[in-house]
Structure 1
Amino acid sequence: MRRRTFVIGALILGLVAAAAFFARRGPRGVEVDTTLVARRPNLQAFVTASGEIVADRYADIGSSVMGRIDDLRVKEGDKVRAGQVLARLDPVQARSQRDAATAGVQALATEQVAAREQVRAARADIDAARARVAETEANLRRIDSLFKERLVSAAERDTAVAAADGARAQLAATQAAVSRAEESIRTAERRQQQARAQAAGAGDLLSKTEITSPIDGVVSRLQVRQGEMVVIGIQNQPGTTLMTISDLAEVNAEIKVAEADVMRLKLGQSATVTLDAVSGRRFAGKVIEIGTGALPPAVGSAATAAAREFRVVVRITDPNPGLRPGLTCDAEILTDERPNAIVVPLQAVVLRPTSTGGEDTAGVFVVRDGAARFVPVKTGIIGGLLIEVAGVEAGTPVVSGPFQVLRTLKDGDTVTTAKK
């Protein structure tokens, strides 16, 4: 009995001692990762995107006429000059249309000559009709004077009056014939102008059976072969693209930039372009064009859910002669830089509500005497995984993780530093 009482007393004393020990030790606290606020000599912010190499000047060569390729004079990779004949289409149909239109012009010219002859004849008839009018009117005046002296009968006077009226009517008819002949000349002239325009159009189509290069460059893509049919575009159906001529004197990188980054871009910003095809080489460049409208969503993606992208063109200032349009590339555009910047890891900056209940405030948790203290900071540019801050000194330990802990960490929480 005495021994049992002794054991129970010893257990009670042990429990009391353990409780006193843990009471003096206090709570263990949340385990966190910490890092020191650092100073960077030069913090740089970049926008990265992917795209492809394109020529600054290029032309997709199509055709204004339909026909079979009779003569293909270039192959892919050939250098061409502006105005050089690249291909020739079957000209039979276009030539026949030109010849028919030319013959129509000549026929109308003959009709115009005939109409002018009709006008001259009608004008001669006018002169004869006027002479006839003068003759009949003079005769009528003589008959009138004799009729007054009762030397001629009324029938003879009526005959003279009718002759004069007939001569006047004949003169009017002849003048109308002249007007009609002159209108025929004007009509023939207009028809001849129309025929000449049709002949010019037919001649233009005939000339376009010879496909020429609009610029100096290289045949970067050839999509047809000799003997194939070439068609022209109709409404929503595109026509045949024969080839692409690219001027490789100046080469660009055409990239697609996410909508979250495009507002940080400006014309003239420096860039670096890399290509898988040219490993180990970095090409300098600058931004020369920023798209004002988003590119269409990718095929198969929901138009409302797909992230928007914008077309950005980077001019490569030191191109390699071996660069070719279509090569894939990555571009890194320098958007901002800060000398002697105070930085912390990006994940260390968190948002917490203000005491006044307004908008959330950005800040970091500084570790002081085993507790996390929320310190508001003003953020600047983002460079990789670092962000510029103002409001804390370099060398100050701040909480940088884990992410789950930072989500719920509060000002004044007891923390312990995780052992590395």
Structure 2
Amino acid sequence: MAAALVLALHANISLAQEADSAETPPAPAEAKRDTVTVNAVGKLQFYRYADVNAQVVGQIKEVLFAVGDAVQEGKLVMEISPAIRATQVENNRAQMARLRAELADQQAQTDFAELQFKRQTQLKAQNATREESVESSRMNLSSARARVDSINAQIQQLEATLKFDEESSRHKQLLAPLSGTVVALNARPGQTVSIGQPGLSLMRIADLSKMTVQARVAEADVTRLKRGMTANFQTPGYPGRTWSGKLRQVLPVPADGTGEQGKQTFYNVLFEVDNPEQELMSGMTAHVQFIVAPAKDGLQPSSNQLAPAGTP
């Protein structure tokens, strides 16, 4: 009898559990959509920089900053001794004064020649002078006017020279075009420089508070990128750290060395990242993930939704 009671009790408990389970259906398992990304490799480069170049022919006298030094906009960074010396400038100014005096004297002679020609013309009308005298006065006037024109031409040429001398004197001091850090220097005291000198700039100054990431994205993936989307990247120099920015531009031409016959086409994609501590440096490698679709709770993506880059 005791055994029968135990069996009956167990049967009642099982029936109650089955009834409860029938009344409360199990909750469906939550599914998450993974983050959809486009992966790329890129390089860090300067976002804003300016070069310092010679604006006068001469010799570098002094270089006041070295690579890595911070400099403020408008600060003197380099001084050049112009090839045109002060004595030459003074000689040109003295020659200008002499030419202006000659011009005044020649203008007076021209005025006198004009009076002589007018008088001879009047006498000729009265048959009171010879034809030779009229022609002689005409030639004297023409000659005087030609000398005036010649002196004026010399004055104009000398004025241009003096202006160049003044510009050269004014540009012998090279100033920083922006506030930043000296990142390249190709100048040394005693070096001869000239205007428009080919080759490297004398100095490059960059603002390191912001950097640009230039990533190379494959042709198959670049059409999935849109301006303003989030771009994360890591660099081997700082393991475990991630920086973020917003996509600024997709350059519409293939990256150098790609797209040629037999080679895959890549496009350069640009975005900026703040660098207040100046930890990031130009040339660092960036492993970039462009966020095409962020992860969120919901149904698994259907077959026509975007899959992560590299997914077959």
TM-score bracket, shorter-length normalisation: 0.7 to 0.9
d(CA) in 2 for partners of 1:119, 1:40? 104
Match of 2:242 in 1: 282
* Structure 1 position 384, deviation (Å): 4.5
User: How far apart are the structure 1 equivalents of 2:268 and 2:310?
Assistant: 26
SS in 2 for 1:251: strand
**Aligned residues, how many?**
283
One-letter amino acid matched to 1:109: R
Contact 2:57–2:82 under 8 Å retained in 1: no
Pair 1:225-2:188 in alignment: yes
The correspondence for 2:206, drawn from 212, 230, 246, is 246
Secondary structure of the residue aligned to 1:268 is coil
Aligned to 1:280, the other structure's residue is in SS state coil
Contact kept in structure 2, 1:251 and 1:319, CA below 8 Å: no
The one-letter amino acid paired with 1:381 is: L
| TM-score after normalising by structure 2 | 0.73
In 2, the alpha carbon distance for the partners of 1:39 and 1:230 equals 71
Residue 289 of structure 2, aligned match among 284, 307, 332:
332
Task: Give the letter for the 2:281 counterpart.
Answer: R
Query: In structure 1, what is the Cα distance between the partners aligned to 2:279 and 2:176?
Result: 22
| Letter aligned with residue 182 of structure 2 | V
The 1:47–1:112 alpha-carbon spacing in structure 2 relative to 1, beyond 3 Å, is farther
- The whole-number CA distance in structure 2 between the counterparts of 1:306 and 1:98 is 61
Give the Å deviation of 1:190: 4.2
Greater Rg by CA: 1
The verdict on how the C-alpha distance between 1:264 and 1:223 changes in structure 2, with shifts beyond 3 A counting, is farther
Q: What is the Cα deviation at residue 59 of structure 1? A: 1.2
Asked whether 1:211 is paired with 2:171, we answer no
Q: How does 1:258-277 map to 2 (within 5 A)?
A: 258-277=218-237
Q: Distance in 1 between matches of 2:38 and 2:56?
A: 46
**1:111, distance to aligned residue in structure 2 (A):** 4.1
Alignment correspondent of 2:304: 379
Report the aligned-residue RMSD.
Answer: 3.5
The within-5 A match list for 1:119-198 is 119-130=110-121, 132-133=123-124, 137=126, 164-166=129-131, 170-171=133-134, 173-175=136-138, 177-198=140-161
What is the CA deviation profile of residues 230-263 of structure 1, one whole-angstrom value per residue up to 9, with x for unaligned ones?
A: 46666xxx32422210123433223333333333
Q: What displacement does 1:85 show?
A: 1.9
Q: 1:71, CA displacement in angstroms?
A: 0.5
| 1:316 Cα deviation after fit | 0.9
Change (3 A) 1:379 1:89: same
Q: Structure 1 residue 305: deviation in Å?
A: 3.2
Instruction: Indicate the structure with greater strand content.
Output: 1
